[in-house]
C-alpha cells in the first residue's frame, strides 16, 4: 500500500516556494463531510503554515465529488486563483457507482489541468472503507489535505515561472 508507514502531512518547509501574493481556491465536497472537513482543515493549515494569508484563500462547497469539476472550473473562471485544490471523498459501496464517480472526477480534474492555465490539485480520497478515509484525513497516515496544499503551492509557483 502506497501510504503504509507514510505520513501524508510531512514535508520539508525549507523546500516550499515563496507564497507571497499567491491566491488559492479550495472546492470542497459536502458528501462524506466528516472526511472532507478533515481534508479541508489540513489544506488550510498547509497553506497558512507556509505564509498564505487567509484573505488569499477562496473556499466553495459543492454537493458531492462529481461536482468538484464544475466548481473548480467556475472558480478558475471567476476568482483569479493561482491554483485550486479539489477536496472530496468517495467510499466504496455495494454498487459500481463508486467506479463511475471516481473515474469521472479523476478525468474531469485531469481535463481542467489540460485545458486551463491554472493547476487543479486532486485531493479526492477513493477508499475501500471509512477507516481508510479516516486514516488519510487526519488519522494515522496524516492528512492528504496538507499534502494537497503543498502540491498547490509548488504548482502555483511553477505556473508563475512562465
**Who's near 156: CB < 8 A, 6+ residues apart?**
17, 19, 22, 24, 82, 83, 119
Domain count, the chain: 1
Confidence of residue 146 (pLDDT cuts 50, 70, 90): very high
Tell me, yes or no, whether 8 lies in a domain: no
Catalytic site includes residue 141: no
CATH at 143: 3.40.50.960
Is-above-0.85 flag for pTM?
Answer: yes
Tell me, yes or no, whether 3 lies in a domain: no
**Which burial class, exposed, middle or buried, applies to 89 when counting CB atoms under 10 A from its CB (0-12, 13-18, 19+)?**
buried
Tell me, yes or no, whether 104 lies in a domain: yes
Q: Which of 68, 74, 58, 61 is nearest to 30 (CA)?
A: 61
Task: Provide the domain limits for residue 133.
Answer: 41-84+98-161
Tell me, yes or no, whether 31 lies in a domain: no
From 10, 97, 110, 140, the catalytic residue:
97
**Which burial class, exposed, middle or buried, applies to 40 when counting CB atoms under 10 A from its CB (0-12, 13-18, 19+)?**
buried
HEC-encoded secondary structure of 48-74 = HHCCCCHHHEEEEEECCCCCHHHHHHH
Q: Encode pLDDT of 19-50 as tens digits.
A: 999 999 999 999 999 999 999 999 999 999 99
Tell me, yes or no, whether 91 lies in a domain: no
Amino acid at each position: 500500500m502506497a501510504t503504509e508507514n507514510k505520513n501524508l502531512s510531512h514535508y520539508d518547509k525549507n523546500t516550499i516556494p515563496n507564497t507571497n501574493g499567491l491566491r488559492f481556491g479550495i472546492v470542497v465536497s459536502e458528501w462524506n463531510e466528516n472526511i472532507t472537513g478533515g481534508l479541508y482543515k489540513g489544506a488550510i493549515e498547509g497553506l497558512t503554515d507556509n505564509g498564505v494569508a487567509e484573505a488569499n484563500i477562496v473556499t466553495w462547497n459543492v454537493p458531492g465529488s462529481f461536482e468538484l469539476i464544475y466548481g473548480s472550473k467556475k472558480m478558475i473562471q471567476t476568482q483569479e486563483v493561482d491554483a485550486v485544490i479539489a477536496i472530496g471523498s468517495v467510499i466504496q459501496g455495494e454498487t459500481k457507482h463508486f467506479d463511475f464517480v471516481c473515474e469521472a472526477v479523476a478525468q474531469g480534474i485531469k481535463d481542467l489541468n489540460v485545458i486551463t492555465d491554472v493547476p487543479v490539485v486532486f485531493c479526492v480520497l477513493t477508499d475501500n472503507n471509512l477507516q481508510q478515509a479516516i486514516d488519510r484525513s487526519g488519522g494515522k497516515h496524516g492528512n492528504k489535505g496538507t499534502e494537497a496544499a503543498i502540491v498547490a503551492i509548488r504548482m502555483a509557483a511553477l505556473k508563475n515561472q512562465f
